[in-house]
Amino acid sequence: MSTIQPMKETERPVIRIGAWRVDAAREQISKDGSNVKLERRTMQLLLCLADHPGQILSVDELLDRVWAGVVVTPDSVYQAVASLRRILGDDASEPTYIANIPRRGYSLVALVAPWVDQPEAAARSKPPRLSAVKIRARARWAAIGSVLALILALGFLVKETPRPMKTVVEETPSAPVARAALVAKRAVPAHSIAVLPFVDLSEKKDQQYFADGMAEEIIGRLVRAPDLRVPARTSSFYFKDKSSTVADIAAALGVANVLEGSVRSSGNRVRVTAQLVRADDGYQVWSQSYDRELHDIFEVQDEIATDIATALQISLAGGPLSRDRGGTRNLDAYQLYLRARSSVTADSTTTTIKRAQRMLRQAIKLDPKFGLAWAQLASLSVPLINNGDLSPAEGYAEAQRLALHAIEISPGVAEPHALLAYLYRARDWDWTAARTELRLALHADPADPVSLMLDGMLSMTLGQHEKAEHQLRAAVERDPLFDYANFNLGNELYLQGKYSEAEATFRRLLDISPQFQWTRPYLAKTLLAQGKSLAALDELQPIDADAAKLDYLPVILLANGRAPEAEAALQKLIAQHAATDAFYIAMTYAHRNDKQLALEWLERAHAQRDAGLTEMMGEPLLRNISAEPRFQAILRAMKLPDQVIGRGST
């Protein structure tokens, strides 16, 4: 297991904090030709704040990080901050460096960027300083954080956007089927099956969570068959509550067989019915009913999977669900786990998420070795960060702690490794640790679509585009209707310059998931890269006046020769979203060849740890500044490998 170690001061590159040059190795800061030697603890305090620009660090957090192992009172923090402010020339009433957030802690509000020894850029249109408030992640990057975390444990997509984007979609009852059928055609292997959500036939219709759990457990057992193709839950459950025929579903998922079923429970008894249907002619290959005591449900799941394997003339690997794969044989714990999973949906509030957490803790109390419950609990810390209920430091630390515990209990489970990989890539920019966790995740489940997708996203960040495409195509093959996998595949093709393939992928995604937030903006910039500037503008029109549209609107208006409107849109983007969208502002300036401002905004993006920087390698809109020393300095500050930095100028 890889652990994150803080960077030693002697290893830190020279950085800029506001107007100051900060050399940690020499414990020295400089400005206007004068040098100031800082005491060791004062330098550590400054670096700790600089490692989390714009974030609020509590007094306790600063004590733990700067005064670790030393018994001191909060007065030490107050005095050190006051001393640092005096040295920096800061004003506590109107801070430009360190802001005091009442009852919360301190936040560094000055620009943090790599130091480049060259004349200062033009002072005009300087990026505004970070405001002394908590910055909330937004749009695509916030959505990815919440979505990935919830996918890892819940198995479905949650789209979290503080400002929801609305798109104009003409929907008809048959549209979902028509759209699903547009998934790329593939050869259909005879040994392939889609497991559809089971129907709840209970008298009170209150057991759908249990029926969904039954279908998912069967998917989990069948996917272990080496010669059987089984689409993942996201794709199979796409058709839930849709009036689609077996033939339509099979065509969309590329399978030869479909399993349907129902669950009826009454008291302590449960009746499960399942039938296996051949897609091409509707022939019923196999059907069976199972009447059992409720506590026998685990055996029923195993029996159904075994009976299906027999009908398809294949063999299953391994035995029943065991602890090394995160399972439980405690019925009460299992039902709490299923209820928690089913309660969190696309529009879940903080109250709903916390209720799910309580159910998971109850499940864990009943079975402390229930690894999947620990993994799901770990994942639910991340959306609470984006909802503003946990600070990033608290939320990420809690997610990491719980994920590590899940791994300790159940090392053979992919989900907690994938969650750690997400944290190391998105939060820490620790590419080595992220790759280590993804290898462990894919060793546990080589076909896990989320792990494959995250692996592809990491390769994309590292400029390993051929490898990234291979991994993302594997994720889509495993889970063809997984919108985030399709989206990232389209983005990877765009970064490679395969614009026609990228366009086709984004258009297919519009058919699969019309409400997916970022398809139209990325399709628009793909069209722009092909010289189709008017078509690009048309793609943005169905989107309401949201930041997602505004991020690309200045560039596309400029490409259409509408310079005054482009400038107005850019100034609106800066006024409204400077704290979250510095990367997009930088792309606009780069596109209009204003290199100095583009680089300043990229440095601002680095200070804000803007996740857009993970897509820098190959971005056409940044190509004209990629050879600049300050651009290269940002890549070095992100701790990217030397060979990646070398490719940054191509």
Given 110, 131, 154, the domain boundary residue is 110
Q: What is the mean pLDDT of residues 504-524?
A: 90
Task: Please check whether residue 356 is in contact with residue 365, taking contact to mean a CB–CB distance below 8 angstroms.
Answer: no
Q: What is the mean pLDDT of residues 575-595?
A: 91
Please report the pLDDT score of residue 210 as a whole number.
83
Is residue 235 in a domain? yes
* Band of pLDDT at residue 4, cut at 50, 70 and 90: very low
Is residue 185 in a domain? yes
Q: What is the pLDDT of residues 279-301, one digit of tens each?
A: 888 888 888 888 888 888 888 88
* Band of pLDDT at residue 368, cut at 50, 70 and 90: very high
Please report the pLDDT score of residue 386 as a whole number.
66
Beta strands in 115-207 (DSSP E): 193-195, 199-200
- In the chain, % of residues over pLDDT 90: 30
Q: Are residues 202 and 102 in the same domain?
A: no
Tell me the CATH number at 72: 1.10.10.10
Q: Are residues 71 and 203 in the same domain?
A: no
Is residue 223 in a domain? yes
Q: Are residues 104 and 207 in the same domain?
A: no
Q: What is the pLDDT of residues 399-408, one digit of tens each?
A: 999 999 999 9
Q: Are residues 309 and 234 in the same domain?
A: yes
Is residue 266 in a domain? yes
Please report the pLDDT score of residue 152 as a whole number.
53
Q: Are residues 182 and 316 in the same domain?
A: yes
**Residue 531 clears pLDDT 50, i.e. is over it:** yes
What span, in angstroms and rounded, lies between the C-alpha atoms of 280 and 367? Answer: 44
Is residue 649 in a domain? no
Is residue 370 in a domain? no
Comparing 43 with 388, the larger pLDDT belongs to 43
**Residue 148 clears pLDDT 70, i.e. is over it:** no
Provide the 8-state DSSP code for 444.
H
Most confident of 151-155, 378-382, 454-458: 454-458
**Residue 161 clears pLDDT 50, i.e. is over it:** no
Please report the pLDDT score of residue 141 as a whole number.
44
Please report the pLDDT score of residue 648 as a whole number.
56
* Band of pLDDT at residue 387, cut at 50, 70 and 90: low
Tell me the CATH number at 203: 3.40.50.10070
Comparing 323 with 509, the larger pLDDT belongs to 509
Please report the pLDDT score of residue 127 as a whole number.
55
Most confident of 103-112, 126-135, 207-216, 436-445: 436-445
- For residue 161, report the phi and psi dihedrals to the nearest 5 degrees: -135, 120
* Band of pLDDT at residue 334, cut at 50, 70 and 90: confident
* Band of pLDDT at residue 347, cut at 50, 70 and 90: low
Q: What is the mean pLDDT of residues 432-450?
A: 92
Q: Are residues 305 and 182 in the same domain?
A: yes
Q: Please tell me the pTM assigned to this model.
A: 0.73
Torsion, CA 626, CA 628, CA 634, CA 640, rounded to 10: 60
Q: Count how many domains the chain has.
A: 2
Mean per-residue pLDDT of the chain: 81
Q: Which helix (H) or strand (E) holds 101?
A: strand 98-101
Q: What is the mean pLDDT of residues 587-600?
A: 94
Please report the pLDDT score of residue 95 as a whole number.
80
* Band of pLDDT at residue 323, cut at 50, 70 and 90: very low
Is residue 50 in a domain? yes
**Residue 617 clears pLDDT 80, i.e. is over it:** yes
Q: Are residues 184 and 292 in the same domain?
A: yes
Q: What is the pLDDT of residues 54-80, one digit of tens each?
A: 778 888 888 888 888 777 778 788 888
Q: What is the mean pLDDT of residues 90-105?
A: 79
Checking phi first, is residue 260 left (phi over 0); if not, alpha (psi -120 to 50) or beta? beta
**Residue 154 clears pLDDT 80, i.e. is over it:** no
b/e per residue 412-422 (b: at least 16 CB within 10 A) = ebbbbbbbbbb
- In the chain, % of residues over pLDDT 70: 82
Helix (H), strand (E), coil (C) string for 251-315: HHHCCCEEEEEEEEEECCEEEEEEEEEECCCCCEEEEEEEEEEHHHHHHHHHHHHHHHHHHCCCC
Q: What is the pLDDT of residues 211-229, one digit of tens each?
A: 888 888 888 888 877 778 8
Most confident of 90-104, 289-303, 405-419, 493-507: 493-507
Joined together, the tokens standing for residue 589 give 């300036």
Q: Give the domain range for residue 257.
A: 175-321
Q: What is the pLDDT of residues 24-58, one digit of tens each?
A: 888 899 988 788 888 888 998 999 998 887 778 88
Beta strands in 386-539 (DSSP E): none
**Residue 641 clears pLDDT 90, i.e. is over it:** no
Q: Are residues 310 and 232 in the same domain?
A: yes
Task: Please check whether residue 605 is in contact with residue 612, taking contact to mean a CB–CB distance below 8 angstroms.
Answer: yes
Provide the 8-state DSSP code for 237.
G
Q: What is the mean pLDDT of residues 550-568?
A: 93
Is residue 204 in a domain? yes
**Residue 322 clears pLDDT 50, i.e. is over it:** no
Q: Which residues contact 229 (CB under 8 A, 6 or more apart)?
A: 189, 191, 192, 193, 254, 255
Given 272, 293, 321, the domain boundary residue is 321
Q: Are residues 189 and 264 in the same domain?
A: yes
Q: Are residues 211 and 315 in the same domain?
A: yes
**Residue 84 clears pLDDT 60, i.e. is over it:** yes
* Band of pLDDT at residue 91, cut at 50, 70 and 90: confident
**Residue 319 clears pLDDT 60, i.e. is over it:** no
Q: Which helix (H) or strand (E) holds 28?
A: strand 28-31
Worst-scoring range by mean pLDDT, 108-117, 396-405, 445-454, 584-593?
Answer: 108-117
Please report the pLDDT score of residue 462 as a whole number.
92
**Residue 589 clears pLDDT 90, i.e. is over it:** yes
Q: What is the pLDDT of residues 619-631, one digit of tens each?
A: 999 999 999 999 9
Given 321, 345, 380, the domain boundary residue is 321
Task: Please check whether residue 504 is in contact with residue 493, taking contact to mean a CB–CB distance below 8 angstroms.
Answer: no
Q: Which helix (H) or strand (E) holds 22?
A: strand 20-23
Please report the pLDDT score of residue 346 as a whole number.
57
Q: Are residues 195 and 310 in the same domain?
A: yes
Q: Are residues 103 and 229 in the same domain?
A: no
Joined together, the tokens standing for residue 151 give 């996918």
